[in-house]
Amino acid sequence: MPQSSPSRTVTLTDDTTGESWKLERRSGTMGPDVIDVRPLPRLSGLLTFDPGFISTGSCESKITFVDGDQGILLHRGYPIDDLAENSTFLEVAYLLLMGDLPNAEQSTAWTHNITYNTLVHEQLIKFYSGFRRDAHPMAVMCGVVGALSAFYHDSINMQDPAQRAKACYRLIAKMPTLAAMAHKYAHGQPFMYPLNSLNYAANFLQMLFAVPAEPYEVNPILARAMDKILILHADHEQNASTSTVRLASSSGANPFACIAAGIASLGGPAHGGANEAVLKMLTALEVPANIPEAIRRAKDPNDPFRLMGFGHRVYKNYDPRARIMRRICHEVLGTLNLANDPLLQVAVELEQIALSDPYFIEKKLYPNVDFYTGLTLRAMGIPPSMFTVLFAVARTAGWVAHWQEQSSESKPKIGRPRQLYTGPTARSFVPMAQRG
Ligand code: ACO
């Protein structure tokens, strides 16, 4: 695989003084070239300014590639459609982490490692009772995942590759257990232990929905749908939560603390919370007759209302995950005899109307992955407060892959952004008696 290599230079000139500085232009294997500005402060005394990282590549990565204009998403080179169709979540997690799909032997060992790490320390279970029952499950997840570092002391040394590997499969293995426990705790139901006879997604459903009082049979169609939903959410390059994990880990923080930081970031409404918002919007619309008014409001520049599940910072084309999610939604609702769900009718008509509206066409606003996710999860019996938790379970695969990539760098650098300071200049301390 070609490595990014310095090949060309770009000259930056100060138009006032005429001073100029040569900077390297570097190419990756795909995607836009970057200007390597690292020598700039040394050469010129200048910093670059880019709040929100709109035009900044924060790291070099070999994991995931997104082309927002073409609507392409590749994990280690494999298109998301291919993976969703032919792979499993555990296989995709291995791919993200190790760089290649596992062969049969590797797959068996990997699956064994995950399966035999799904239990959590019994003492950790006591943490849950410290939370209020009405706590948001993302708040609970942030706490219990952060607490893992207090339990698994043999996997917190990020300098040791063996400990790093252990931390990665522990996190992937334990996330569904912890997530299902958060769900059960909120509902006052007993926790369900993992079952090693079930695959990853089926076990997750079992821990979410089974009760000890009676046998629970996992619907294989729903288990496969859950597995695909996990695949679709597994990674998305340097988004806010992944960048948070990387920044946290750059200081040498332990892996569990880094993933807890990722969960905190994902919980924000601008990141992981949109699937819940889509469901609220569809519920409020109630019937297709209300769609034209919603479209009118979404187009009104003076109205803050937006079509939730439409638009994306990177995708200016159909989000490839949204297309797959729409298929999964129809499959799940069909399986559960909910094909006539009025909210599905609203969603389908809303999508059609928006996609043929000049406003949405011109602004390149297409459905994103969240548009059909909420409807699907709701049909599966998952409450809206758990939607983002489910996203966190899936995204743990990406987070640990990025954490591992960064922790394995030969010359690690702590993440330390600079700033454009606009506060007061130096001034003398004013004693209280002299303050106005
Ligand atoms: N409905 C109506 N108009 C919209 C929408 C929308 N959903 N999204 C963007 N626009 C308009 C904006 O008003 C803006 O119009 P203008 O050019 O007249 O100012 C233009 O399209 C560009 O939108 P921006 O907000 O500048 O684009 P940005 O990249 O900053 O925002 C975002 C992307 C936040 C996703 C936005 O499209 C949005 O709010 N969508 C709805 C929420 C949503 O579905 N979020 C989930 C994203 S996917 C994910 O996180 C997994």
Residue 143, pLDDT score: 97
Check pocket membership of 237 for ligand 1, CB cut-off 6 A. no
> What CA–CA distance (Å, rounded) separates 91 from 96?
9
> What CA–CA distance (Å, rounded) separates 402 from 59?
10
> What CA–CA distance (Å, rounded) separates 94 from 102?
7
Check pocket membership of 368 for ligand 1, CB cut-off 6 A. yes
| Ligand 1 centroid – CA 273 distance (Å) | 14
156-195 in b/e form (b: 16+ CB < 10 A) is: bbbeeeebbbbbbbbbbbbbbbbbbbbbbbbeeeebbbbe
Helices (H), 69-196: 80-86, 89-98, 104-115, 122-128, 137-147, 161-187
Q: Report which protein residue has its CA nearest ligand 1's atom 14.
A: 363
Closest CA to 178 of 160, 157, 153, 151: 151
Check pocket membership of 178 for ligand 1, CB cut-off 6 A. no
**In contact, 75 and 92? CB cutoff 8 Å:** yes
Residue 3, pLDDT score: 54
Give average pLDDT by consecutive 10-residue segment, the chain, 436 residues: 67 97 97 96 97 94 96 97 98 98 98 97 95 96 96 86 93 98 97 98 98 96 97 97 97 94 91 86 94 95 93 90 95 94 93 94 92 93 95 98 93 93 97 95
Positions annotated as catalytic residues are: 312, 370
| Ligand 1 centroid – CA 313 distance (Å) | 7
Check pocket membership of 239 for ligand 1, CB cut-off 6 A. no
Both tokens of 104, joined, read 């049969």
| Ligand 1 centroid – CA 289 distance (Å) | 24
> What CA–CA distance (Å, rounded) separates 62 from 92?
15
Size (the chain), residues: 436
Residue 137, pLDDT score: 96
Q: How far is CA 387 from CA 213, 229, 274, in A?
A: 26, 11, 9
Check pocket membership of 367 for ligand 1, CB cut-off 6 A. no
Q: What is the CA radius of gyration of the chain?
A: 24
Ligand 1 pocket, mutate which of 235, 363, 364, 395 (most atoms under 8 A from CB): 363
Residue 6, pLDDT score: 52
| Ligand 1 centroid – CA 312 distance (Å) | 6
Check pocket membership of 298 for ligand 1, CB cut-off 6 A. yes
3-state SS, residue 199: coil
Residue 355, pLDDT score: 92
Atom number in ligand 1 closest to CA 309: 44
